[in-house]
Structures are given as structure tokens and as C-alpha cells.
Amino acid sequence: MLLAIVLMIVGLLLLVYAADRLVYGAAVLARSIGIPPLVIGITVVGVGISLPELVVSTTAAINDQMDLAVGNAIGSNIINILLILGGAALIHPLSVRSDILRRELPLLLLVTALCGFLLSDGELSRIDGVLLLASAAVFMMLVIKIARAAEKEGLDTLTYEQMSELPQDSSNTVAFLWLALGFIIMPLASGMIVDNSTVIARYFGVSELVIGLTVIAIGTSLPELATFIAGAIKGEDDIALGNIIGANIFNTCLVLGLPALVAPGSFNPDAFHRDYWVMLAVSIVLSGLCLMRKHRIGHLAGALLLCGFIAYMAVLFLLPDSIAF
């Protein structure tokens, strides 16, 4: 048991590190072939934040563990808002200045609603996967279009903050090496996570869905936590919030879409009847907080979000799996 816990933690750390290096290498190569920095920031770096969730969920689905895959995607979205955003706002109030954020919020609610429709039958099919992946592509095109318009007008801080996060000077050789290392480590690390999380779930008598919603979701959300902290420390509240919104959209579209495409299957109905509605509720709450008149997420909001996280964890571990909201 102890060995399984250690191996899973090591796997999570390796996965997050490999994802970071893979994104770094991809960003350097994309810049070297002339892709605009704005596009790199929204696509390569944006998708890269959700890369750990994507790899773990896809690996789990291939291993016929769809509960773990779905739980990881939904749980990461919930944790990003309740735990990461809530904890940060409790320490340091966040201001929402970017028009892009306010324009992305309806897209977050739209893909969350689509997700609910596709999850309602208790199964993810290849058609569901195609729809979700197509939604991710449409989202990226819309955000790039909006960001380009804002960049020309010089009115939106998020555009410049995203571009400033890109690697500046590095050789293509180093980038290729990081890419190769990332592609080697990530499958091995995700296999360690999936295999040992199954052992832990069986030992404690909890479902794979709950493990995916909690332990795995928290571990794979480490990149979101790191970028959020970095943005908040620099006073770049827009990029911190933008990463949360973007990560949640990609988690919904990609982290559910790719597993459905490569290994469709059914999952625990509690994922829809209980956990999806929590994800929808916290997404609505996030939208409300960002769109308030003062556009500010303060200490009180942070405390309430953290209380929501504690309550949700209590429901998962103290009440039976059959509970539905």
C-alpha cells in the first residue's frame, strides 16, 4: 500500500515535469518556424496546462478504466475553481480586467452544458469524442480571433501577459531533446499513476471515480496551481484567471474528448448525477464572480469557495456513491 502511494506520487511529479518540458520544447519549435507568439500562447501553452489530465485520462480509458478518466476531467475542473482559485483569492484578492476573460466565460458555460448533455446517457461514444474535440478547435479559433483584435487595439492585458510567458531564447536542438524526453516520460508516468491509483482505491474500498475526482485530479492540477501562483505573484491576475478558464474548457473538451475517441465506454452514473452538477454549479459561480460590477474576487469569495471544496470532499468520502444531487 505504502509503495503504491509513493509510486503514484512519483508518477504525478514526473508527469507534471515532463508536461512542462514538452510544452517548452513545442513553444520553442513553434516560434522557430514562424508561428505568431499569440497563437503559441493560446494553443501550445494553453493545451499544455491540461496535458497531465489528458495523458492520464487517455491512459485510463485505454486500460478500460473510464471512471478514472471521467473523474479526473470533472474533478480537475472543480478543484481548479474551489481549491486553487478559492485558496488564492483568500490570500490575495484578484481583479478581473480583461475583456477576453469575460468573453471566454460564456464559452466555458457552453462547453460545460454540452458536456452534461453528452454525459447524461452514462456513456462516452466516439461521436461524443468528435463533438468535444471539435468544440476545442472552435474554442481556440474564437479565442485567437478575439485576442488578435484586442492586440491590434492594445486594450487587453491578457494578450501581452500570455506572450510574455513564452520561452525567449533557446536552440532547436535543446527543444527537440525536451520534446523527446517528455514523450518518453509521460506514458511511463501516467501508467504508474493509473496502476497504483487502482491499488489504492481497492485498498481503501472507494471507487475509481472518487480516486479520479480527488487524488488524481489534485495531482494533475499542479500545472494550473503553478501558473496561477506565478501570475498572482506578478500581479498578472488576468493570466492567472485566464489559465483557470482555459484549463477548464480544455479539460472538458480534450480530456473527455480524446479518451472517448480512442476508447469509448460507459462510466459510473454518479459522475453525471452528482459530480457533473457540482462542476456546472462552480462554473456558474466563477462566471458570476468575474462578471460582478467590481470585477473582483475577494477574501470572502475565496473563503466560500474553499468551504465548498471541503463540503464536496465530505460528500465524496462520507456519503455512499449512490448519492445524487
- Helix 157-164 with 237-250: angle, nearest 10 deg: 80
pLDDT at 325: 43
118 lies in a domain? yes
Letter for the amino acid at 109? L
- 124 dihedral zone (left: phi>0; alpha: psi -120 to 50; beta): beta
Series of mean pLDDT values for 10-residue runs along the chain (325 residues): 83 80 75 68 71 88 92 94 88 73 81 95 94 91 75 58 58 78 80 81 83 87 73 66 84 93 94 95 90 75 93 85 49
Number of domains in the chain: 1
Rounded to whole angstroms, what are the CA distances from 148 to 39, 42, 152, 167, 246? Answer: 9, 11, 6, 20, 17
16 lies in a domain? no
172 lies in a domain? no
pLDDT at 42: 64
187 lies in a domain? no
Helices (H), 80-216: 86-91, 99-119, 126-153, 157-164, 172-204, 208-211
Rounded to whole angstroms, what are the CA distances from 258 to 75, 201, 241, 307? Answer: 17, 24, 25, 32
139 lies in a domain? yes
120 lies in a domain? yes
What is the Cα–Cα distance from 51 to 55, expressed in whole angstroms? 6
pLDDT at 176: 79
Range of 288's domain? 50-156+205-319
pLDDT at 311: 95
5 lies in a domain? no
**Which contiguous run of DSSP H or E holds residue 226?**
helix 222-233
**Measured CA angle at 106 (ends 102, 107), to 5 deg:** 110
Give the pTM: 0.84
Comparing C-alpha atoms, which of 271, 277, 312 is closest to residue 70?
Answer: 271
188 lies in a domain? no
CATH of the domain at 280: 1.20.1420.30
- Helix 126-153 with 157-164: angle, nearest 10 deg: 110
